[in-house]
Amino acid sequence: MNRALTVAVLVVVCALLGVGLGAELLSPPAWMLAVQDTNDPLGRLIWQWRVPRVITAFCVGASLGVAGVVFQGLFRNPLAEPYLLGSAAGASVGAAIALLVPLAMPAWFSLSLLAFAGSWGATWVVVAMARLTGVKSGTSLILAGVAVAALLSAVRSLLMLVLSDDTVNVQSVISWTLGGIQTPYWSELAGVVIPLTLLGFLACLTLARGLDFLGLGDEVAESMGLAVESFIRRGVLIAAAVTALAVVWGGLIGFIGLVVPHIVRWWVGARHGSLMIYSALGGGCALMVFDGLSRSLLPPSEIPLGLLTVMVGVPFFLLVLVRESRR
C-alpha cells in the first residue's frame, strides 16, 4: 500500500510539474487560477495545449516503459528496449511513409497502422539476425538492433528527401524523429491516445505470468505449460504495437524503456506483473517531467525530447553494461 501511495504522489507531482514547466515557469496556484477563468487566454492555452500534451507525454512514457519490460522479459536481456532493438526506428519509417505519401485512409489510422507494421517488421528482422549469428548472448541482439536502427534511420532520411514536397513540412518531421510529444485535440486524446494506451497496457499485462515463466529458461517454461514459441510471437506483436503507439505520439525517444524498468526492478523486484504496472507509471512520470524540461531549458526554443532522454540514458546504459559483464 505504501508503494502505491508513493507512486500516486509521484504521478501527481510530475503532472503538476509537467503543466507548470514551459518557456515561462508557472506555479500550480497561478495556472489553476487561470484555468478556472474561461476568458483568460493563458487559461485557454493551458487547457487546450498544455494539459493534453502532458497527458500524451504520460501515455507515451507509460507505453515505452511497458514495452521495455516486455522486450526485456521476452529476450531475457536487460538491455532490450524499443529504441535499441530497432523497433522504434521501424515504427518511425512506417510513420514517415504515412506522413509523406498520401493514402486513402484517415491520417491517424494510416499513421498507426504503418508505424505498427514498421515496428513489428523491424523487431523480427533484428531477432532473426541475432538468431542467425547463433550466439545466445544478449549482445548479439543489441548489436543487430543498433545496426538495423542505423539502417532504418538512413532509409527514413532518404524517404524524407525523395518524397517531401511543399505540402509537407519536413522540418516538423525531422523534429518529430528527434523525439517530441505531439499535442492532440481533446477528442483525439479521449478517442485514440488514452484508449489505445490502456488497451496496450492491458494486453501487456496478460503476458506477465508467461514472462515470469520464461525467466526460468525456455525448457522449464515449456514444461510449466507455456507454449514458448507462440508466446514469444504474441509478445513481440503486442510490444511492437505499444512501441508504435509511443512513436506516433512521441517520435523517437530512447532509453526510457531501458532506464525505467531497471530502476523499478531494484525497487519492486523482478516479477513482471508489478514490474509492468510500476514501469508504466514511472515511464509516464519521467516523460511528463522531461517533456516539461525540453520546453523550459532553452526558451524560447524547445530542445527535442529525444536528445534529453539519450543524454540521461546513455550513462545509465553503460552502467548496466558494466554490471552485466561482471555477472
Partner 1 sequence: MSAAPTHLMHAEHLHLKRGRRAVVSDVSFTIHANQMVGIIGPNGSGKSSLMRLLAGVIAPDTGSLHLNGQLLSTMTRAARAQSLSYLPQETRVYWDFTVDDVLELGLARGQPTLRLRASQQMPLPKALIAEFELQELMGRVLNQLSGGERARVLLAAAVAGHPQLLLADEPMASLDVCHQLGLMQRLQALRERTASVIVMHDLNLAARFADRLLLLDQARVVAFGSVDEVLGSPLLDRVFRVAFERERSDGVLKLYPHTAT
The site for partner 1 (CB under 8 A) is made up of 76, 205-206, 208-210, 212-217, 219-227, 231, 265, 269-271, 273
Q: Which is nearer to partner 1, 19 or 74 (CB)?
A: 74
Q: Is 255 helix (H, G, I), strand (E, B) or coil?
A: coil
The one-letter amino acid code at 253 reads I
Measured distance CA(200)–CA(8) in Å, rounded: 21
| Nearest partner of 124 among 240, 9, 13, judged by Cα | 240
Reply yes or no: is the peptide bond before residue 195 cis, omega within 30 of 0. no
| DSSP 8-state class, residue 270 | S
| Nearest partner of 199 among 146, 245, 143, judged by Cα | 245
Q: Which three cell numbers stand for residue 26?
A: 508557472
The least CB distance from residue 79 to partner 1, in Å, is: 13
Q: Which is nearer to partner 1, 190 or 224 (CB)?
A: 224
The least CB distance from residue 218 to partner 1, in Å, is: 8
The least CB distance from residue 147 to partner 1, in Å, is: 24
How buried is residue 327: exposed, middle or buried, by Cβ count under 10 Å (0-12/13-18/19+)? Answer: exposed
| Nearest partner of 325 among 142, 145, 150, 144, judged by Cα | 142
Q: Which is nearer to partner 1, 78 or 283 (CB)?
A: 78
| DSSP 8-state class, residue 33 | H
Q: Which is nearer to partner 1, 157 or 206 (CB)?
A: 206
Backbone angles phi, psi at 183, to 5 degrees: -110, 105
The least CB distance from residue 140 to partner 1, in Å, is: 16
The least CB distance from residue 272 to partner 1, in Å, is: 9
The least CB distance from residue 234 to partner 1, in Å, is: 11
Measured distance CA(154)–CA(148) in Å, rounded: 10
Q: Which is nearer to partner 1, 148 or 239 (CB)?
A: 239
Q: Which is nearer to partner 1, 235 or 251 (CB)?
A: 235
